[in-house]
Amino acid sequence: MKRRARPQGWLSDVDPTASAIGSTAAVLLTAAIYAGSRGLRNFDAALIGYATATIFLAFGVTYRYVVWVQSPPTRRYLVKGWKAFLSWRNFRRFPTLVPKAVVSNLAFQTFIKERGMGRWAAHQALFWGVVGATLITFPLTFGWIHFRSAAGTESHYEMYIFGIKTVTFDALSWLGWLTFRGLDITAVLVIAGCAYFLWRRFRDREAMTGQHLAHDLMPLIALVAISVTGLLLTFSSALLKGRYYDFLALLHMGTVVLTLVFIPFGKFFHVIQRPASIGVQIYKRTSLEDKGPFHCKRCGAAFETQTYVEDLEETMSELGLGFEGWAEHCPRCKRVERGIAYRAHVKEGF
C-alpha cells in the first residue's frame, strides 16, 4: 500500500466545495450585518476592522469545517450523530441525554476536571471570558446593538437591538456599570486562565512535551494581548483622561483582527470541533440500545456496540486500510494473538 501522493501546487489544494460554502457563509454574514444595522445606519465605521475580520473568519471557519467533515470518519459521525439527534424516537427514549451532554461537555467541561482541578478552573475562566467577550463584541461591531443617551437625562442610556429600543438604564447604576465594564470583566477572566496555562506550558513537563510555539503558545499570547490592550483602553479613559486612547484602540483592533484571522488555522478551531463529542455520545448511547454490544470474536468480552464496529469497519474499508476484520477483536486479544503467532512462526516456543 502506498501513501497518497499530494497534489502539486497550492491551487490544486483548494477545495471548491468548501470555497463555495465558505463564500456563502461570508456573504450571509455580510447581509446579516447590513440588515441588522438597519442598512448600516447603526454601524460604527470605527469598528469596520473588526467586522471585516469577522467576515473573513466566517469564510475561514466554514471552509475548514467543510474540508474537515469530508474525511470518511468525520462524515460518518456527522451523519450518524445528526440522525440520532433528530430522531423523535431517541428523544422520547433519552430526553435528558443531549441537555446533560451539552451542560457537562460544552458548558462546564467536566472532563477537564478529571485532568486536574487547576486546569479545569483555568479553562472555565478562559472559556466564559471568551464567550462573554464574543457575545458583547460581535453584535456591537456588526451594528446590531448600539447605545444612545436618553434625551433629557444626564447619565441615562437607551439600548437598541437591531434598531429596536429595548431598555433604558442609568450608566451609574449596577446595570450600567456591568454593561460598560462587561469587556473588562471578561478580559480579567481571560488573563487569569491564560496566566495559568502559560505557567503550565513553561513549567509542566507533560505540557511541554511536543508543544509548538505556533500551536500551543501563540493562542495564549494572542488572548493575553487582546485582553491587556482592551484593559488599557479602560485605563486610558478612566485614569489618563483619554490620553493615548486612539493609539491603544488601533493596537487593540490589530490584536483582535490578527487573532480572528488566525482562528480557522490554529488551536482555536477546537471550539468548532468540540460539539462533535455530543454527536458521538448520542450515537453510541442510542446504538447500544438499538443493536446491543459487540462481543470480541476471540474472548467474547463486550466492547463498543454492533453498529459502532460495523461503521468503523466501513470507515477502514473506505480508507483502504485492508485489515477491517481486526476491529472485531478487543485490543488485548489483538496483542495476545500477535504474541501467539510470533511464538508459533517467528521464534518457535520462546
**Would you tell me which residues interact with another protein (CB under 8 A)?**
1-3, 68, 71, 73-74, 76-77, 105, 111-112, 114-115, 205-206, 208-210, 267, 270, 273-274, 276-277, 280, 297, 303-304, 309, 312, 315-316, 319-323, 325-343, 345-347, 350
| 57 CB-contact burial (10 Å; exposed 0-12 / middle 13-18 / buried 19+) | buried
What is the full DSSP assignment across 33-76? Answer: HHHHTTTTTT--GGGHHHHHHHHHHHHHHHHHHHHHHTSHHHHH
Nearer to another protein, 64 or 252 (CB): 64
Distance CA 171, CA 249 (A): 22
Strand residue runs (E) in the chain: 145-149, 156-161, 164-170, 293-295, 302-305
Residue 119: CB atoms within 10 A of its CB come to 19
- DSSP three-state, residue 171: coil
Minimum CB distance to another protein, residue 78 (Å): 8
Nearer to another protein, 92 or 347 (CB): 347
Query: Which residue shows C-alpha cell 439600548?
Result: 159
Minimum CB distance to another protein, residue 229 (Å): 25
Minimum CB distance to another protein, residue 126 (Å): 12
Minimum CB distance to another protein, residue 10 (Å): 19
Distance CA 284, CA 81 (A): 9
Nearer to another protein, 112 or 185 (CB): 112
Minimum CB distance to another protein, residue 196 (Å): 15
Q: In 3D, which of 68, 70, 71, 76 has the Cα closest to residue 307?
A: 76
Minimum CB distance to another protein, residue 269 (Å): 8
Nearer to another protein, 118 or 242 (CB): 118
**Residue 186 near residue 132, CB atoms below 8 Å:** yes
Q: In 3D, which of 82, 114, 113, 111 has the Cα closest to residue 98?
A: 82
Nearer to another protein, 241 or 345 (CB): 345
Nearer to another protein, 34 or 303 (CB): 303
Minimum CB distance to another protein, residue 108 (Å): 13
Nearer to another protein, 87 or 109 (CB): 109
Nearer to another protein, 175 or 208 (CB): 208
Residue 183: CB atoms within 10 A of its CB come to 20
Distance CA 231, CA 240 (A): 13
Nearer to another protein, 81 or 143 (CB): 81
Distance CA 75, CA 315 (A): 10
The Cα angle at residue 256 between residues 252 and 261, in degrees rounded to 5 = 150
Distance CA 249, CA 245 (A): 6
Residue 142: CB atoms within 10 A of its CB come to 24
Minimum CB distance to another protein, residue 75 (Å): 8
Minimum CB distance to another protein, residue 236 (Å): 34
